[in-house]
Amino acid sequence: MKPTALITGSAKRIGNAIARHLAEQGWNIAIHYHSSVLSAARLKNDLSSKNPDGKFELISADLNDLNAVEEIVPTVIKEFGTLDLIVNNASIFNKKSLKETTIDFFDAQMQVNFKAPMLLTQVYSRLQEGGLIINLLDTRVTGNQSDYAAYSLSKKLLWEFTKMAAVEYAPAFRINGIAPGATLPPADKDKQYLEKLALNTPMEKPTGVDPILKSIDYVINNEFLTGQLLFCDGGENLV
């Protein structure tokens, strides 16, 4: 039986690229999405036509709704018969300094970026005998820039959770993180913005999606790797 991956927020951008990459490698994919209905449907059609022997299903859930989050893993297991990998990719990335951050704004980022991956992990470990989780973090977990304060704090906490969960859920589950640097511009910015930002990093260019896909492969194939963080940031975490 083909292995199954659930990728949260996979209708577009990095999640979409991970879904396409894993499908090419023979994975069945549970395509989780929330508002990007058309992009998710398009991805399902593309994957089905390019990989006719694969299984690709849409899973819609608002990660702000904890009851809906709890249903995701049981739905995937019912539909596919197994769940071998969760990629916690969905995220919100909203700009506010600490001074500007209200509790409601903070909670919204924590809900999607931290609480949902934590709950998915808990449900997954209850329903499957073993598995693999990859948390998409951010090179910002090492720094203290506060322009995206709530986002950065949510990713720092997810990194701490990744290590703690790796210990508690071993040896049945492996849990690792991947920390991209500037990869794709936010919706209100263009490619030039990203290229300019990247000039301040050792490799002097944006991460691009390819290094993230290579890191996904590395985590999947290295059966002894757990509680680790792979930076895909051209050295940005060092400066």
Ligand X SMILES: NC(=O)c1ccc[n+]([C@@H]2O[C@H](COP(=O)([O-])OP(=O)(O)OC[C@H]3O[C@@H](n4cnc5c(N)ncnc54)[C@H](OP(=O)(O)O)[C@@H]3O)[C@@H](O)[C@H]2O)c1
- Structure tokens that stand for 38 in this block: 């058309």
Q: In whole angstroms, give the CA distance from residue 76 to residue 239.
A: 41
- Structure tokens that stand for 88 in this block: 């916690």
**How many residues make contact with ligand X (CB under 6 A)?**
25
Phi-psi region of 189 (alpha: psi -120 to 50; beta: other; left: phi over 0): beta
Matching residue, tokens 């792979």: 230
Nearer to ligand X, 51 or 89 (CB): 89
Name the helix (H) or strand (E) containing 88.
Answer: strand 85-88
94-133 residues in contact with ligand X (CB under 6 A) are: 112
Position 89 contacts ligand X (CB under 6 A): yes
Position 136 contacts ligand X (CB under 6 A): yes
Position 11 contacts ligand X (CB under 6 A): yes
Q: Give the interface segment with ligand X, choosing from 45-53, 61-69, 70-78, 169-177 (CB under 6 A).
A: 61-69
Count other C-beta atoms under 10 Å from residue 81's C-beta.
Answer: 11
Q: Give the interface segment with ligand X, choosing from 29-37, 94-102, 118-126, 141-149 (CB under 6 A).
A: 29-37
Q: Contact letters (x/-) for ligand X, 152-191, by CB under 6 A?
A: ----------------------------x-xxx-------
Is the C-alpha dihedral spanning 161, 164, 166, 172 positive or negative? negative
Position 197 contacts ligand X (CB under 6 A): no
- 45 within 8 A of 23, measured Cβ to Cβ: no
**According to CB under 6 A, which one of 24, 26, 35, 66 is a site residue for ligand X?**
35
Shortest Å, Cβ 231 to ligand X:
10
Shortest Å, Cβ 76 to ligand X:
15
- Structure tokens that stand for 196 in this block: 């300019």
Nearer to ligand X, 36 or 51 (CB): 36
**According to CB under 6 A, which one of 5, 19, 22, 36 is a site residue for ligand X?**
36
Q: In whole angstroms, give the CA distance from residue 218 to residue 228.
A: 12
Q: In whole angstroms, give the CA distance from residue 4 to residue 31.
A: 11
Q: Considering only CA atoms, which of 221, 92, 226, 81 is closest in space to residue 152?
A: 92
Residue sitting closest to ligand X (CB): 9
Shortest Å, Cβ 111 to ligand X:
7
Q: What single DSSP character describes residue 33?
A: E
- Contact set with ligand X (CB under 6 A): 9, 11-15, 33-36, 62-64, 89-93, 112, 136, 138, 180, 182-184
